[in-house]
Amino acid sequence: MNKEEIKKQVRKRYSRTAATGSSCCGTAACGCGQSGPDTRQVSQKVGYELEDLAAVPADSNLGLGCGNPAGLAELKPGETVLDLGSGPGLDCFLASRRVGPEGRVIGVDMTPEMLDRARATARQNKYSNVEFRLGEIENLPVADRSVDVIISNCVINLSPDKPRVFKEAFRVLKDGGRLIVSDLVLTRTLPENLSKSKELYAACVAGAVLKDDYIKMIREAGFKEVKVIDEKLFPAELIMDLKKVPQVSRQLKITEASLVEALNSVISVTFRAVK
Ligand SMILES: C[S@@+](CC[C@H](N)C(=O)[O-])C[C@H]1O[C@@H](n2cnc3c(N)ncnc32)[C@H](O)[C@@H]1O
């Protein structure tokens, strides 16, 4: 798939998720979002506190994250925060509470249906310091040196041009600004047939890169003090319905054992870096 085909596929997947709140392979997280009580459980598993989840609109949580970047960003009142790939807006609404009325939160997403959903939630719940902009994280619709903090949750793995995303993040951050990104990365390379799968790309796996390569990209964009501030194995059942392992392994022409090994090589890491 070329870069445009990847984006088309990803947008199609998330437009469906935004509209229905539930789709595809059964469980939630990264592309297979579902609403309802399980969504909160999924979010708790990836690092959210129940009291934070209870304090923001339920419609903003489709169980699509893999960490809690807004919770780890040490946000202060008055700061301007940018969320890359804001989806239904969960992290924007959490950030909004932390930066307060003097602060601002901007969510950017390339899927119009996600923006519609996030904007409707903001309107209905009277969030006056949050706005959602349509755009690609490789070409941010944001001015140079205009934000204090960038957060992102389970999105950059979906970009076909990750180095460019980090360069754009560097451009829009003020000097001394910080980047707090939760994402899925790999502990070992994936079997070739799996890395070509469109479905597993949109499910945040096939586009994931090795942890060390991810850190290298952040550094090469100009960031300093790049650190891992949280790391955990990402439960395989949040990537795909494990009952489908035999079927998916047949489709991918790999053994069941190598599919399971690949799913177990996916970890969720939160990185912190400074401009
Ligand atoms: C796995 S979801 C995560 C959503 C949100 N961060 C959350 O945790 O609920 C990925 C989101 O990133 C958006 N996205 C993926 N690639 C993008 C890109 N290149 N530019 C802008 N948005 C993108 C998708 O439209 C989708 O809303």
Closest by CA to 112, choosing from 87, 144, 140, is 87
Q: Which two tokens stand for residue 144?
A: 């140079």
Angle between helical axes of 3-20 and 112-124 (0-180°, round to 10): 40
The rounded distance, in Å, linking the Cα atoms of 94 and 264 is 30
Residues in the chain with pLDDT < 50? Answer: 22-37
Domain residues of the chain, as ranges? Answer: 3-274
Pocket lining for ligand 1, CB < 6 angstroms: 7, 10, 14, 30-31, 62, 64-65, 85-88, 90-91, 109-111, 114, 136-138, 153-155, 158-159, 204
Quick check: pTM over 0.75? yes
How far, in Å, is the centroid of ligand 1 from the Cα of 191?
A: 25
pLDDT (tens digit, 9 = 90+) per residue, 224-242?
999 999 999 999 988 888 9
pLDDT (tens digit, 9 = 90+) per residue, 2-49?
889 999 999 999 999 998 764 333 334 444 444 444 888 889 999 999
The rounded distance, in Å, linking the Cα atoms of 263 and 234 is 9
Q: Which ligand 1 atom minimizes the distance to the CA of 158?
A: 16
pLDDT of residue 196: 87
Distances (CA, A) of 215 to 66, 100, 129, 207, 233: 17, 31, 32, 15, 18
Residue of the CA atom closest to atom 14 of ligand 1 = 85
The rounded distance, in Å, linking the Cα atoms of 166 and 195 is 22
Q: What is the CATH architecture of 3-274?
A: 3-Layer(aba) Sandwich (3.40)
pLDDT of residue 120: 97
Alpha helical stretches, state H, 137-244: 162-172, 192-195, 198-202, 211-220
Residue of the CA atom closest to atom 25 of ligand 1 = 111
DSSP-based three-state secondary structure for 12: helix
Q: Which residues contact 180 (CB under 8 A, 6 or more apart)?
A: 69, 72, 73, 149, 150, 151, 229, 270, 271, 272
pLDDT of residue 32: 43
